[in-house]
Amino acid sequence: MAIPWIAALKIIPWGDVIEHAPKVLNAARKLLDKQKAPPVPVPPSAPMDPNAEPPSLGELRNRLIEARQLIDQQATAQQQMAQTLSELAEQNARLVEAVQLLRVRTRMLMVVAALLAMVALWLWSS
């Protein structure tokens, strides 16, 4: 069972893993920090009363600016999450390729070992 692990350690492109590890770690930390950060408080809007005076233009402009800032923050967070997900998907694809290569090599090794065993038995019996 030790042979496949040794082969796996040799096949995995450790240079790439080590190269991308800080990026993934930083992105994961940023993601965790954003989730831990308290949400920006949004001032409660008063229910629209038909008899009440409509909000002033300045108040509407301030609400619009706050809404745009929140939308921009959410878009930035979504882009960072998508980038992190993309990096993780790339690493996962590399690992899957490495595992597939290991499977093929293991099968080849088993076939070669069986053939050598058969040859050894044939030579021993003659």
78 vs 18, residue with greater confidence: 78
In this predicted structure, what is the pLDDT of residue 47?
58
pLDDT in tens, 23-45: 776 777 777 677 666 665 655 55
Segment 42-50 mean pLDDT:
60
Residue 49 has pLDDT above 90, yes or no: no
Where do the structural domains in the chain lie, given as residue ranges? 70-126
3-state SS of the chain?
Answer: CHHHHHHHHHHCCHHHHHHHHHHHHHHHHHHHHHHHCCCCCCCCCCCCCCCCCCCCHHHHHHHHHHHHHHHHHHHHHHHHHHHHHHHHHHHHHHHHHHHHHHHHHHHHHHHHHHHHHHHHHHHHHC
Residue 1 has pLDDT above 60, yes or no: no
pLDDT in tens, 58-116: 999 999 999 999 999 998 988 888 888 778 877 877 777 888 888 899 999 999 999 99
Task: Report pTM.
Answer: 0.48
